[in-house]
């Protein structure tokens, strides 16, 4: 995990500095003199060699200091922690909806292969994969907020505010989880031990729930873990459409203003969360399949 995080820190440190635009010029304004811009660069440490800047960044990172926002003058960790809980709530609500509906639809479609439900569910899943997030969000807003008035369109003040953003963000993940669950179920229910369980006279529900489902969930758990990390870092469009105050919007604002410390801090946070989610998924493998052991 440590080498991965260090590699990510180097990549993001390099990438943000090759983005066109001078943060000193943005902060000083179009009418600033060269002397004023040089002074701002010195204050931000941008006058040092890039390698020196990177090692200073690493030193502060190991001390838990992500720097100070050049846009607001506030500590980056404070900027992130103000927004991150909102993104976390949105991502968890989205992955919960995606898991419940995706796994349920996938199991039924797999058990009832080639049925009308199977064809219809996979068609809906294909639509879920194909629809752009911003278009789906606008359509949901138009129907449920403007026409029906059931849910608020923007903001994050109550539980009602999270419904439409969660559905919008989770639609793609629901489709992916449903397709993976169906595929995994089809593979498992054709194995010998499932035929043996049926030959013993066990009820179909028992065969599916006790014997097939647990083994079928191994690749599904992998997908759910990956989707959780993806939703945390990929909520930018959803947050913009619904004016959701999360780190996705913070990241866009930081990029537009060339706020290097905030960009680096947000990306490192997303990457670290993604890595930890994958670690949890690896640990869950040994619970779902006792044959898997870690030494």
Asked if residue 70 belongs to a domain, the reply is: no
Q: What is the pTM of this model?
A: 0.74
DSSP at 210? I
Token pair listed for 246? 């999360």
Token pair listed for 287? 């619970």
Predicted confidence band of residue 121 (pLDDT cuts 50, 70, 90): confident
**89 closest CA partner among 223, 242, 222, 218:** 242
Distance CA 68, CA 232 (A): 23
**Based on the domain organization, do 56 and 172 belong to the same domain?**
no
**163 closest CA partner among 104, 97, 102, 100:** 97
Count of domains for the chain: 2
**Based on the domain organization, do 153 and 278 belong to the same domain?**
yes
Domain carrying residue 123: 76-288
Confidence at residue 134, expressed as pLDDT on a 0 to 100 scale:
81
Distance CA 292, CA 226 (A): 20
**176 closest CA partner among 135, 137, 134, 234:** 234
Q: Give the other-Cβ count within 10 Å of 125's Cβ.
A: 23
Q: Give the other-Cβ count within 10 Å of 58's Cβ.
A: 14
**Based on the domain organization, do 158 and 241 belong to the same domain?**
yes
Q: What is the pLDDT of residues 24-72, one digit of tens each?
A: 666 666 666 767 677 767 766 667 777 887 888 888 888 877 777 877 8
Q: What is the pLDDT of residues 190-223, one digit of tens each?
A: 777 777 777 777 776 777 766 677 777 777 887 8
């Amino acid at each position: 995990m440590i080498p991965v995080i260090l590699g990510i820190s180097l990549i993001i440190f390099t990438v943000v500095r090759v983005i066109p635009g001078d943060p000193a010029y943005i902060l000083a304004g179009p009418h600033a003199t060269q002397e004023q811009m040089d002074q701002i660069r010195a204050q931000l440490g941008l006058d040092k060699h890039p390698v020196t800047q990177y090692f200073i960044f690493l030193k502060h990172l190991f001390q838990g200091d992500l720097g100070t926002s050049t846009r607001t003058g506030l500590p980056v960790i404070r900027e992130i922690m103000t927004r991150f809980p909102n993104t976390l709530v949105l991502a968890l609500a989205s992955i919960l909806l995606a898991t419940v509906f995706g796994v349920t639809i996938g199991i039924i479609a797999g058990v009832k292969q080639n049925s009308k439900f199977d064809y219809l569910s996979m068609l809906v899943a294909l639509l879920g994969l194909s629809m752009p997030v911003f278009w789906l969000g606008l359509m949901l807003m138009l129907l449920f907020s403007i026409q029906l008035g059931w849910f608020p369109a923007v903001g994050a003040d109550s539980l009602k505010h999270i419904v439409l953003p969660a559905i919008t963000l989770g639609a793609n993940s629901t489709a992916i989880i449903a397709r993976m669950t169906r595929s995994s179920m089809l593979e498992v229910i054709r194995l010998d031990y499932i035929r043996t369980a049926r030959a013993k006279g066990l009820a179909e529900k028992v065969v599916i729930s006790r014997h097939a489902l647990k083994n079928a969930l191994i690749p599904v758990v992998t997908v759910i873990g990956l989707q959780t990390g993806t939703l945390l870092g990929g909520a930018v469009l959803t947050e913009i459409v619904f004016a959701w105050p999360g780190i996705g919007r913070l990241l866009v604002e930081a990029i537009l203003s060339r706020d290097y410390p905030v960009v680096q801090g947000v990306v490192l946070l997303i990457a670290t969360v993604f890595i930890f989610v994958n670690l949890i998924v690896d640990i869950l493998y040994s619970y779902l399949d006792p044959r898997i052991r870690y030494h």
